[in-house]
Amino acid sequence: MDFILEAQDLLKIYRSSWTRQKTTALDHLSLKVERGQIFGLLGPNGSGKTTALKAFLGMIRLNHGEVKLMGESPHQMSVKSKIGFLPEESYLYKFLSAQESLEFFGRLAKLDSKTLPHKIDTVLEKVGLLESRKRLVKHFSKGMLRRLGLAFILLKDPELIFLDEPTVGLDPIGAFKIRQMMIDLKTQGKTIVMCSHLLGEIENVCDKVAILYQGKVLKEDTLEKILSIPEKIQIILQNQSQNMGSLQKLLKDSHIEIESIGNPRKSLEKAFMEIIHLSS
């Protein structure tokens, strides 16, 4: 298998110098992410999700363990030009406008300066910030900052993207758009590693999930395997009014116990988006 991220036995202990208290943020964590997947790190607050992301990106000094991105150290310049990161908080320079920010980070990422202005306009249009490109970042709302962060990623066009709580603090439409963008990126062949404590978010977009708790991976598998209940079977009927009675009779005659019968449910997000779409 082609693994784009390999983390082996990561140990990170934070130590307070005054009280000498130790906190184990990552407790011998090991993970492998396949190329082209959307991989979710799921866990409650303080479970080590963000620390794990920082460890993958080489932004913290580990007590033990090794991370390889695309088979190399995350500190390699060749690797750095192929990865993108959307942090939970906006770490942008507030005195720059959206366009200036993208120009600065585009140049920092060593993108071609001739095509950069055109690319900037394209990504700003894609994230819906073209009109606000001259506005200073300090006047941006949280949703706009998130979209600008995504614009950086689209501009850099990396192979591997790390997203830290990508939809936190966004309204349902903003969150939906970001999730849609993630799915689009996946179809382009990008790999996404995201962390979130929102179960619905992980469920909607991820192929594979690792559940973290107290710095440890408690479970790691495909979403399908984690969510399916092997001892129960769900049957979805195409034409319910015609088939319901005969199916019930058939099951009863075969002495098959029925737990519940009802209409399948769509997610609240899907229902919300449909209602909004209809009204607009």
List interacting residues with another protein (CB under 8 A).
54, 57-62, 73, 75, 77-78, 80-81, 83-85, 87, 89, 91-93, 95-96, 100, 104-105, 107-110, 152, 156
Closest to another protein by CB, 57 or 193 = 57
Provide the minimum distance between the beta carbon of 81 and another protein in the complex, in angstroms, as a whole number. 5
Cβ-based nearer residue to another protein, 160 or 178: 160
Q: In the bound complex, what is the minimum distance in angstroms from residue 162's beta carbon to another protein?
A: 8
Return d(Cα 85, Cα 187) in angstroms, integer: 19
CB of 136 to another protein, least distance (A): 9
CB of 58 to another protein, least distance (A): 6
Q: Determine the Cα angle at 270 with ends 267 and 276, to 5°.
A: 140
In terms of CB distance, is 38 or 60 closer to another protein?
60
Q: Which is nearer to another protein, 54 or 208 (CB)?
A: 54
Pairwise CA distance, residues 279 & 275, whole Å: 6
Nearest-approach distance from CB 145 to another protein, in angstroms: 12
Q: What is the DSSP secondary-structure string of the chain?
A: --EEEEEEEEEEEEE-TTT--EEEEEEEEEEEEETT-EEEEE--TTSSHHHHHHHHHT-S--SEEEEEETTB-TTSHHHHTTEEEE-SS----TTSBHHHHHHHHHHHTT--TTTHHHHHHHHHHHTT-STTTTSBGGG--HHHHHHHHHHHHHHH--SEEEEESTTTT--HHHHHHHHHHHHHHHHTT-EEEEEES-HHHHHHH-SEEEEEETTEEEEEEEHHHHH--TT------SSHHHHHHHHHHHHHHTTPPP---------HHHHHHHHHHHH-
Closest CB to another protein among residues 137, 212:
137
Residue 93 vs 141, nearer CB to another protein? 93
Least separation in angstroms between CB 79 and another protein: 9
CB closer to another protein, 95 vs 274: 95
Max distance between CA atoms of the chain, in angstroms, equals: 74
Minimum CB separation from another protein for residue 210, in Å?
22
